[in-house]
Amino acid sequence: MSDANLADVQADRSKMQISDTDVAIEISGMNKWYGDFHVLRDINLKVMRGERIVICGPSGSGKSTMIRCINRLEEHQKGRIVVDGIELTSDLKKIDEIRREVGMCFQHFNLFPHLTILENCTLAPIWVRKMPKKQAEEIAMHYLERVKIPEQANKYPGQLSGGQQQRVAIARSLCMNPKVMLFDEPTSALDPEMIKEVLDVMIGLAEEGMTMLCVTHEMGFARKVANRVIFMDQGQIVEQNEPEPFFTNPQHERTQLFLSQILNH
């Protein structure tokens, strides 16, 4: 579907180094219920530093819930999640510590509408990292240039297009210098012509070796960037594989069904 969007971008896989000893995230035996509804069933996932993982699956399959558990926007009831060597418990200090190291981009951007773009980016470094304002602004401008919108720094989010807002959201996360980035359907709320500008930024990030977990339906992106694709259905990890075999030769019948539905239209 979006292969056309990405036709002129060639991700450079040779730069994407994956560590084979350094574990970024380890999820083992994680279960979660909403009331009586078992949304996540026995999730096991080990993410090495530098890995780019794309998570796909039908809606309601628990993929968003799973990555939201990693920075505790959702609470899991059973199992272990260890992020960057810190285990997630109900200890608020640990939660904040993990959130400082894990960046997140949302489907609806969630920029702060009462602050300018620059203030959106400097807020967390100033208040969470206790960085001097001037230094925070320099870093913010650096990342705004990275996402190619430094000229919008003094505007408000409401004045920007969706694609620009999502790029600001990415820059805002990067300003915290995170070790892991989580993307929760970052392009689902965007018009087709804006998807590319966001994906370009994400590809750039991957090339720099950022550890990324992306919930997305952009299969072109998955092919180009991911080193692992995970398919979830009904709260379980049904299949995971490298992108080439995943797309050309899916094993599980539900994966086959899902891929045939999204690729053939």
Partner 1 sequence: MSDNSVAFVATSDKPQLPAPQGTTGAVGWVRQNLFSSSLNTVLTLLSIFVVFSVVPGIVDWAFVKSVWNANSLDECRQISDGACWAVVRERYNQFLFGFYPTELYWRPILAFVLLFVALVPALWDNMPGRGKALIFSMAYPFVAFYLIWGGFGGLEYVSSSQLGGLLLTMIIGVAGISFSLPIGIILALSRSSNLPIVKSLAVIFIEFIRGVPLITLLFVAHVLLNYFLPKGVNFDIVLRVVIMVTLFASAYMAEVIRGGLAALPKGQYEAADALGLGYWQSMRLIILPQALKISIPGIVNTFIGLFKDTTLVLIIGLMDPLGLVAPTLGDQRWNGIVVELYAFIAFMFFIFCFAMSRYSMYLERKLHTGHR
Interface ranges with partner 1 (CB under 8 A):
71-73, 96, 99-100, 102-104, 106, 108, 110-114, 123-124, 127-128, 156-159, 172-173, 176
State the nearest-atom distance from the C-beta of 223 to partner 1, in Å.
28
- What does the alpha-carbon distance between residue 193 and residue 26 come to, in Å, rounded to a whole number? 36
95 vs 141 by CB, closer to partner 1: 95
Tokens 């804006």 belong to which residue? 194
Among 57, 9, 42, 13, smallest CA distance to 258 is for 57
57 vs 103 by CB, closer to partner 1: 103
Identify whether the C-beta of residue 172 lies closer than 8 Å to the C-beta of residue 127.
no
Tokens 């995170």 belong to which residue? 178
103 vs 163 by CB, closer to partner 1: 103
52 vs 72 by CB, closer to partner 1: 72
Other Cβ atoms within 10 Å of 23 Cβ, number: 16
State the nearest-atom distance from the C-beta of 104 to partner 1, in Å.
4
State the nearest-atom distance from the C-beta of 49 to partner 1, in Å.
20
- What does the alpha-carbon distance between residue 87 and residue 234 come to, in Å, rounded to a whole number? 26
- The helix/strand/coil state of 159 is helix
- What does the alpha-carbon distance between residue 134 and residue 137 come to, in Å, rounded to a whole number? 5
171 vs 237 by CB, closer to partner 1: 171
State the nearest-atom distance from the C-beta of 114 to partner 1, in Å.
5
Identify whether the C-beta of residue 250 lies closer than 8 Å to the C-beta of residue 229.
no
At a CB cut-off of 8 Å and minimum separation 6, what does 256 contact? 250
1 vs 128 by CB, closer to partner 1: 128
135 vs 159 by CB, closer to partner 1: 159
Residue 37 gets the label, from left (phi > 0), alpha (psi -120 to 50) or beta, of beta
Identify whether the C-beta of residue 147 lies closer than 8 Å to the C-beta of residue 135.
no
Q: Which residues pair with 214 in a beta bridge?
A: 54, 183
State the nearest-atom distance from the C-beta of 165 to partner 1, in Å.
9
Among 83, 109, 88, 112, smallest CA distance to 178 is for 83
State the nearest-atom distance from the C-beta of 67 to partner 1, in Å.
11
